[in-house]
Structures are given as C-alpha cells and as structure tokens.
C-alpha cells in the first residue's frame, strides 16, 4: 500500500449502510468528470424522527468506562461488551408527550435562531483559520464557496477512524480483539476548499469513543458513542492518546497498551433535514481501496447516520450512563425542551461526555436539500460533499497516498501501524 497513488474514485451501485451482502466495500477512484456519490438500491420507507432515536432492547452497548481508559482490566472490558443498554421505548413516548403540538409552531422560529447563531460561530471560526497563515496551509476560504454553501450543512471537515486492540493482543484478528473503535471530527470553515498539503493543527478537534466497536450498518442498528476529548489539538491527541504505553498491575505485572491503528480517513458533514433530524454523512478517501477490516467495522465508501444527542438531565439505564455529565450551559439544556434526545448542534459536540446516538441509514436521506435552497439554486449537501471528497482525494494523491494520514496527524510511520485492509 505504501507509495500507492490513489486514482479518482469510480462510481458504484450500493452505497449507504444498508444490510451487507457480503461483498467488500471497495473504494474506487474516479476522474473529476465522473465524480458523484453512489446511490443506494432502495431508500428506507420511513425516516426516523427524534422521538424514535432511543436504543432498543437487547443491544450490546454498555457505556461503562467513560474515560476509555486503556488500563481497565480485561474482565471489566468484557462485561462492557455484553451488558445490555435498554433505552428507547419509554423515552420515545415521553418525548412525544413533551413535544406535543409545540413542534410545528416552534420549528420555524427555532430554525431561524439556530441559523443566526451558527453563522456567528462560523464567522468566529473563519477568523481563527484566517490567522493560521502558512505557505503549506491547504485550507483556502472561498467567498464563492461560502455563498453557495447549503444552509442545512451545520459543519463540514475531515474525519479519522481508529481502532485499539485489547491489552495483551498484539495482532487483532477480528472486531472481537479490539478494545474500542474511535473517530475524530476535525472541522473546517464552511466556505473552505482544500488544496495541497497537510491540514494545520487547531484546537477544535473532537475524539469520540464507540464502545460497540462497529458503526451502524443498517437502520436497525442504534449505537451510542460519546465525546472523550473536545476542543483539543491533534498534537495533544498524539501525545496523550494515539501512542502506546506500559503500566503495572499487581497480578499480571507490566502490561502494554498498543498505539492506535488508523483504519480510514475522509471528509464529513453534519446536516439538518426538513424533517428536523440531524445526520452525520461521510466519504472516505483513505485507504484507496477499502477492505475486510473497514467492512467489518461498518466503514463505507460513503455512509450516513442519523445522529442525536442525549439530554443529560434525563436519566437512563445505569448500563448506558456515563459517570460524568457534559457541562452544558443552561441555554443548551433549555434547547432540549425536556426531551430525552435532541438534534445535534456542533456546539454540543464541543463538550466532553456528550453522548450521541448513531442510527444507520442510506446516504441519500442525509444529503437532502432544503426547499428554500432549491428555490435559490444553492449547492446541495450532496454536491458539497462531492467537492470536498474530490479535493481531499487530490490532496492525498499529491501527498503520500494512503500514508497521507500520517502527514495529517503528524505521526511517524515507524511508530504506528500502516492503514490495514485485512486482519
């Protein structure tokens, strides 16, 4: 894989996290003229509402150790895998009662208020990026791109996927050998376009832990994750999370924690559709060809999840609760309007211990344009993701191909496993 130069991705037939047919989810490149997101064969019949975004019975998803501590003993780690998290049905009924008839009356006003606040935050973020001046900075703020930006893209950026093996396992042979799966969201200015070079490091990264270890592969999969680190730099993650370590135990002596293994990189967008749901959509650019590992983890060429955030003021089962709550402001708590689950706003994700719920869905649901944007001939979320994907593919090709992940993360190829595609 080293030294390979990824060519542009070619189109495929089946895209979103639909039920697997057993075939490898290859990531084919395509020339710019042919660039388009692949469509799923069959769209889901219904779109889940926020009132439906609970975790159903029987799902193996205990949150357990909120810190994601690599020093937890093996027994605790196993119990985390098999504990049942039972959230959902009652929350959905309670939310429906709380929401009542206020939903239709307040949604338009709320949307306008959210847009204003989001624009103000975007301006502040753009100022910080403008101050990051470097000849090697590939992030260019485009006034035209900003003008055409879909109004329902709340955030866009780069996404990285990692795994870490269980303590004592040198080479993972399956998902069962993993301790945790993680992903990092690295926001970019909404008007940004990507050129050549590694992305400059800023204190706006978020590290998410996924105790389930795999991403939702269908609409029936509803997995929780949480923000383990927020408002952090890649350098901080490199120093305090990515690398391996050793620690002493009373019964088994010195134990080694392996460094994380990067398994994919790509671009993402957080969108809000007119049915008042929020979505995390992504497109991978590394590795150039996805393999068995990515397929087992539920990482696709392009994928989408309904994403909701938990109201920390609403209680849930102990097996799916964190020992600490996110330090949400009173303003944020009020925005939940008493509901157990709410739409995701980027500012929520800037709080450690923020719990989110991911539900698998077809990509097309997460990139639907708004009626207003259609009237004003704005770019669609799908079109913007296509552009960002293609720009990142070219950037990666001009760097070091699949090894470009080491450039972006400023880590050494000698100290970390290369991006694997098979166990």
Q: What is the structure's pLDDT at 190?
A: 87
3-class DSSP state for residue 365?
Answer: helix
Q: pLDDT at position 283, please?
A: 97
Question: Which residue do the tokens 């991911």 mark?
Answer: 358
The torsion angles phi and psi of 21, rounded to 5 degrees, stand at: -100, 10
pTM as predicted = 0.75
pLDDT band for position 69 (cuts 50, 70, 90): very low
Above 60 in pLDDT, residue 118? no
pLDDT at 142 over 80: yes
- Of 226, 255, 256, give the one whose Cα is nearest residue 355: 226
Helix, strand, or coil (residue 38): coil
| C-alpha 23 chain-centroid distance | 23
How many angstroms from the chain centroid is the CA of residue 147?
25
Residue 408 has pLDDT above 80, yes or no: yes
Local confidence band at 123 (pLDDT 50, 70, 90 cut-offs): low
- How many angstroms separate the CA atoms of 242 and 258, rounded? 9
- Six-digit token string for 114: 């959210």
Confidence of residue 170 (pLDDT cuts 50, 70, 90): confident
For residue range 308-354, what is the model confidence (pLDDT) as tens digits?
999 999 987 777 788 899 999 999 999 999 999 999 999 999 999 99
The 8-class DSSP code of residue 168 comes to T
C-alpha closest to that of 183 among 276, 299, 337: 299
pLDDT at 249 over 90: no
Q: What would the mean pLDDT of 29-38 be, rounded to a whole number?
A: 43
Which two tokens mark 106?
């307040």
2 is written with which tokens?
A: 């080293």
Is a pLDDT exceeding 50 seen at residue 242? yes
Mean per-residue pLDDT, 130-140: 67
Q: Which of 23-32, 78-87, 171-180 has the lowest mean pLDDT?
A: 78-87
Helix (H, G, I), strand (E, B) or coil at 383: helix
What pLDDT, in 10s, does the model give residues 383-394?
Answer: 999 999 999 999
Distance between CA atoms of 256 and 246, rounded to whole angstroms? 4
At 164, list the tokens: 């870490």
Q: List C-alpha distances in Å: 65 to 5, 102, 410.
A: 40, 37, 28
Q: Which residue has the higher pLDDT, 415 or 394?
A: 394
Q: What one-character DSSP code corresponds to residue 209?
A: E
């Amino acid at each position: 894989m080293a030294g390979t130069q990824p060519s542009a991705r070619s189109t495929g037939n089946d895209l979103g996290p639909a039920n697997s047919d057993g075939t490898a989810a290859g990531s084919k490149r395509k020339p710019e003229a042919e660039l388009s997101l692949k469509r799923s064969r069959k769209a889901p019949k219904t779109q889940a509402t926020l009132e439906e975004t609970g975790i159903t019975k029987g799902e193996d998803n205990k949150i357990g150790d909120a810190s994601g501590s690599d020093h937890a003993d093996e027994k605790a780690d196993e119990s985390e895998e098999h504990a049942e998290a039972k959230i959902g049905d009652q929350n959905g009924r309670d939310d429906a009662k709380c929401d009542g008839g206020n939903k239709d009356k307040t949604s338009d006003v709320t949307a306008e208020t959210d847009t204003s606040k989001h624009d103000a935050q975007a301006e502040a973020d753009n100022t910080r990026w403008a101050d990051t001046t470097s000849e090697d900075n590939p992030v260019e703020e485009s006034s035209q791109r900003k003008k055409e930006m879909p109004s329902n893209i709340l955030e866009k950026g780069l996404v990285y996927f990692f795994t870490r093996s269980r303590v004592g396992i040198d080479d993972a042979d399956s998902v069962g050998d993993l301790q945790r799966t993680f992903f990092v969201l690295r926001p970019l200015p909404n008007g940004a376009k990507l050129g050549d070079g590694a992305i400059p490091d800023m204190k706006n990264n978020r590290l998410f832990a996924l105790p389930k270890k795999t991403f939702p592969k269908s609409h029936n999969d509803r997995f929780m994750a949480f923000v383990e680190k927020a408002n952090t730099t890649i350098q901080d993650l490199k120093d305090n999370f990515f690398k391996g370590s050793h620690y002493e135990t009373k019964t088994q002596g010195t134990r080694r924690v392996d460094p994380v293994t990067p398994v994919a990189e790509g671009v993402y967008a957080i969108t809000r559709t007119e049915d008042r749901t929020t979505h995390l959509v992504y497109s991978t650019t590394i590795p150039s060809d996805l393999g068995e590992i990515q397929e087992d983890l539920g990482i696709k060429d392009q994928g989408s999840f309904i994403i909701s955030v938990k109201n920390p003021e609403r209680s849930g089962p102990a097996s799916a609760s964190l020992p600490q709550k996110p330090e949400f402001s009173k303003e944020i708590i009020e925005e939940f309007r008493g509901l157990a689950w709410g739409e995701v706003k980027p500012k929520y994700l800037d709080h450690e211990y923020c719990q989110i719920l991911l539900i698998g869905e077809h990509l097309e649901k997460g990139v639907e344009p708004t009626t207003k944007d259609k009237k004003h001939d704005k770019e669609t979320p799908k079109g913007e993701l296509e552009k960002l994907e293609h720009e990142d593919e070219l950037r990666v090709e001009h760097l070091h191909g699949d090894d470009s992940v080491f450039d972006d993360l400023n880590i050494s190829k000698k100290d970390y496993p290369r991006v694997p595609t098979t166990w």
